Copies of this chain bind each other. A is one copy, B any other.
Amino acid sequence: MGGTMDGTKQQRRGDTRQRIQDVALALFAEQGYEKTSLREIAERLGVTKAALYYHFKTKEEIIVSLFEDLTRPLGELIEWGRQQPHTLETKQEIVRRYSEALAAAAPLFRFMQENQATVRELRIGDTFKSRMTGLRDIIIDPEARLTDQVRCVSALFTLHAGMFVMQDLEGDPEERRKAVLEVAIDLVTQAHQGAHGDA
C-alpha cells in the first residue's frame, strides 16, 4: 500500500496547496465564489474539507492567495509605469503590457469581472480597486478633457471585455486579441493627442 513509482498519488506530495488553488480558481470562475462550496473543491481534489483548512485558514484566504499570487505582475507594471515619463509611448506600452498581464491570469480576471459584488466585500476588493486607479492615473492626463479621460478608462475596459465578452466574435483568439489591443491603444492615443495640442 502506497507504492513508490506510480505517479497518481505520489507526485502530488507537497503540491496540494497549489492544486487547491487551481481547482478553486477553476470553480470560482465557472460558478462564482458563493456558489462554490468547499465540499465541492475538496471532492474534486479527492481530499476532505479539513485538508483545505490545513492549507488555508478560511475560504476567503483561498481567493486572496490566488489574487496575490496572480496579480503580482500587475503590481510591478504599475510600479514601472509610475516611474516613466507620461509620454504617449509609455501609455501605449502600459496598455500593451496590461493586455498581456490580463491574458496571463485570465481565469482570475474572469472571476473578478463576473463576481464584482463578491469581490467588493472581500479583502481583495480595495487592493484591486486601488490598483485599477493607479493604472488609470498613469494613462490619464489630469488636465485632459473629460471625454479623453473617459477614453482612457474605456481602453482598459475594452481589454477586459476583450477577454471575456468578445469570445463569440469571429476570428481566432490571437487575431482577436490583436484587434482588441489595437482599439485600446487607439483610444489612449486619441486621448493623448486630444490633450496635447494636435488639431
Kindly list chain B residues whose C-beta atoms are within 8 Å of the C-beta of A145. Answer: 179
Task: Tell me whether A117 and B35 are in contact in the complex, defined as CB-CB below 8 angstroms, given that A154-B161, A157-B158, A161-B157 are known contacts.
Answer: yes
Kindly list chain B residues whose C-beta atoms are within 8 Å of the C-beta of A81. Answer: none
Kindly list chain B residues whose C-beta atoms are within 8 Å of the C-beta of A127. Answer: none
Interface of A, secondary structure class, is helix
Complex Cα distance, B150 from A166, in Å, reads 8
Interface size on A, residues (CB 8 A): 40
Stoichiometry, as copies per complex, reads 4
Complex Cα distance, B158 from A153, in Å, reads 8
Task: Tell me whether A183 and B169 are in contact in the complex, defined as CB-CB below 8 angstroms, given that A117-B114, A175-B146 are known contacts.
Answer: no
Q: Give 4 A-B pairs besides A35-B117, A114-B120, A153-B161 with Cβ atoms closer than 8 angstroms.
A: A114-B116, A133-B168, A146-B171, A158-B158
Interface residues of A (CB under 8 A from B): 31-35, 111, 113-118, 120-121, 133, 145-147, 149-151, 153-154, 157-158, 161-162, 165-166, 168-171, 175-176, 179-180, 182-183, 187
